[in-house]
A and B are shown apart, each in its own frame.
Chain A
């Protein structure tokens, strides 16, 4: 099956920085520049930049846009005002997770949804099939690039003002205009910069000129796993419900949205299994698909550069989900001891709020 991989506006910059390019969700993306571990540590200690332009941007606008999304998204949009964003889920009738995303409230009647690259088309269809008069859904992904700048020194290096997490505003880095959102996927202080394609190169160059370390998808994965952010397609899928995925905190079960009845019922009776974080007690690196001997499966696993141990996320039976519980990972036939950890596995030192 021959398919043409898509390239972001920053492709040439990645190549000239010596990035190793790999296929990801139909895109040709940098997995690393000079090493996953080095990039990971740059984000934890200073600041790193990620090209995440492959992610999808869907705009929903109209007098009924708010009500329309309230009926489809798990979190409560009444909790945010224009200029604020919210982590939320698109759920199916079974309470399964069609996608996880960030909803940005652009105005009273206008939202921007930043969705996973692999789900962009499915999300767009999901919304389009359900939209009614008074709400218009548009896929504007092809018009925008997205650059995440993350790390304790990110704002300082970009000369951006401090702002509350999950707020956003029109702004600029140097002279390049962009939407500056205080969001990210690393657990660090940071921003995501949404920029028109034609300004993307100038913005990237501006970010690089300020000493921010270029980082690939490899470090993005190790960073998000240390802070236990789930990855759609691995840890959460349309077949896994939000309660079992430990995402009950993003489900406003007191409002009406797709799958809410099923989610209430699962919460009421208690999920049979729970998405839990674990840390290896023995030397071994857990990987997606490995069995948890006591019952369950690893959905994401890696080597933690901060703990210098194997870490992972996986579904375990509810009786094994408490932090401190001993579990065993089947590492290609070798049983290796691990222990359920309190989330996040790694907590940054300057954690606000």
Chain B
């Protein structure tokens, strides 16, 4: 169902297996290939509401497979601008394309320095190799 394992170099990674892509003061969040592979096919996405605030290292929503529920951990803080409605309707989109169509929320960054605490792709790849 899912593509092959990959960790794009233009993203930053949180140790809870969440990624963030930064562009023009906005951040797009999602879960990594490793996270979707561990969970299996996703069947539910419980998103935050637009306009609410997500806080770095705290849960902002949930994804579920048939067998498991997993908290979504925000790698950075900010206000939710948009929830990916496509994933709400078809959660398996995350398995098919975790870094593209399977993004979860778009937020307005509240503190861009938080990025510096996150891992780069090579470091994250070593991190998951040890999991």
Binding site for B on A (CB under 8 A): 31-32, 34-38, 218, 222, 283-285, 287, 302-303, 305, 310, 332, 334
Q: Is B43 among interface residues, defined by CB-CB distance under 8 A?
A: yes
B residues in contact with A302, CB < 8 Å? 66
User: When the two chains form their complex, are residues A287 and B69 in contact, meaning their CB atoms are under 8 A apart?
Assistant: yes
A residues in contact with B69, CB < 8 Å? 285, 287, 332
User: When the two chains form their complex, are residues A35 and B1 in contact, meaning their CB atoms are under 8 A apart?
Assistant: yes
User: When the two chains form their complex, are residues B44 and A36 in contact, meaning their CB atoms are under 8 A apart?
Assistant: no
B residues in contact with A303, CB < 8 Å? 43-44, 64, 66
B residues in contact with A36, CB < 8 Å? 40-41, 65-67
Consensus secondary structure, chain A interface: mixed
Q: How far is the CB of B55 from chain A (nearest CB, A)?
A: 18
User: When the two chains form their complex, are residues B66 and A283 in contact, meaning their CB atoms are under 8 A apart?
Assistant: no
From A218, A283, A310, give the contact of B67 (CB < 8 A).
A218
Q: How far is the CB of A269 from chain B (nearest CB, A)?
A: 39
User: When the two chains form their complex, are residues A285 and B64 in contact, meaning their CB atoms are under 8 A apart?
Assistant: yes
How many interface residues does chain B have, given as a range?
10 to 19
Report 22 cross-chain contacts, Cβ distance below 8 Å, ordered by A residue: A31-B67, A35-B1, A35-B40, A35-B41, A36-B40, A36-B66, A36-B67, A37-B41, A37-B66, A38-B1, A218-B67, A283-B44, A283-B88, A285-B44, A287-B69, A302-B66, A303-B43, A303-B44, A303-B64, A303-B66, A332-B62, A334-B46
Q: How far is the CB of A221 from chain B (nearest CB, A)?
A: 8
A residues in contact with B88, CB < 8 Å? 283
Alpha-carbon gap, A332 to B40, bound state (A): 21
B residues in contact with A305, CB < 8 Å? 66
Q: Flag B55-81 by CB within 8 Å of A: 1 or 0 each.
A: 000000010111101000000000000
B residues in contact with A283, CB < 8 Å? 44, 88
Q: How far is the CB of A186 from chain B (nearest CB, A)?
A: 15
* Smallest CB gap from B89: residue in A: A283
Please report which residues of chain B, range 1-34, place their CB below 8 angstroms from some CB of chain A when the two chains form the complex.
Answer: 1
Binding site for A on B (CB under 8 A): 1, 40-41, 43-44, 46, 62, 64-67, 69, 88
Alpha-carbon gap, A283 to B65, bound state (A): 13
User: When the two chains form their complex, are residues B41 and A285 in contact, meaning their CB atoms are under 8 A apart?
Assistant: no
Alpha-carbon gap, A218 to B66, bound state (A): 8
User: When the two chains form their complex, are residues A222 and B66 in contact, meaning their CB atoms are under 8 A apart?
Assistant: yes
User: When the two chains form their complex, are residues B40 and A285 in contact, meaning their CB atoms are under 8 A apart?
Assistant: no
A residues in contact with B43, CB < 8 Å? 37, 285, 303
Q: How far is the CB of A48 from chain B (nearest CB, A)?
A: 15
Alpha-carbon gap, A283 to B42, bound state (A): 13
Alpha-carbon gap, A165 to B21, bound state (A): 57
**Given contact pairs A36-B67, A332-B69, a sample of 10 additional A-B residue pairs in the complex whose CB atoms are under 8 Å apart:** A31-B67, A36-B40, A37-B43, A38-B1, A38-B41, A285-B44, A285-B69, A303-B66, A332-B62, A334-B46
Q: How far is the CB of A305 from chain B (nearest CB, A)?
A: 8
B residues in contact with A222, CB < 8 Å? 66
B residues in contact with A287, CB < 8 Å? 69
Most buried by B among A31, A36, A38: A36
Alpha-carbon gap, A34 to B43, bound state (A): 15
User: When the two chains form their complex, are residues B44 and A284 in contact, meaning their CB atoms are under 8 A apart?
Assistant: yes
Most buried by A among B1, B40, B41, B66: B66
* Smallest CB gap from B71: residue in A: A332
The 5 closest A-B pairs by CB, nearest first: A303-B43, A36-B66, A285-B44, A285-B64, A303-B66
B residues in contact with A284, CB < 8 Å? 44, 46
Q: How far is the CB of B36 from chain A (nearest CB, A)?
A: 12
B residues in contact with A332, CB < 8 Å? 62, 69
B residues in contact with A334, CB < 8 Å? 46
Alpha-carbon gap, A222 to B69, bound state (A): 16
B residues in contact with A35, CB < 8 Å? 1, 40-41
Most buried by B among A37, A302, A332, A334: A37
User: When the two chains form their complex, are residues B40 and A32 in contact, meaning their CB atoms are under 8 A apart?
Assistant: yes
Q: How far is the CB of A146 from chain B (nearest CB, A)?
A: 23
A residues in contact with B41, CB < 8 Å? 35-38
B residues in contact with A38, CB < 8 Å? 1, 41
Alpha-carbon gap, A334 to B1, bound state (A): 30
Alpha-carbon gap, A95 to B32, bound state (A): 50
A residues in contact with B46, CB < 8 Å? 284, 334
A residues in contact with B62, CB < 8 Å? 332
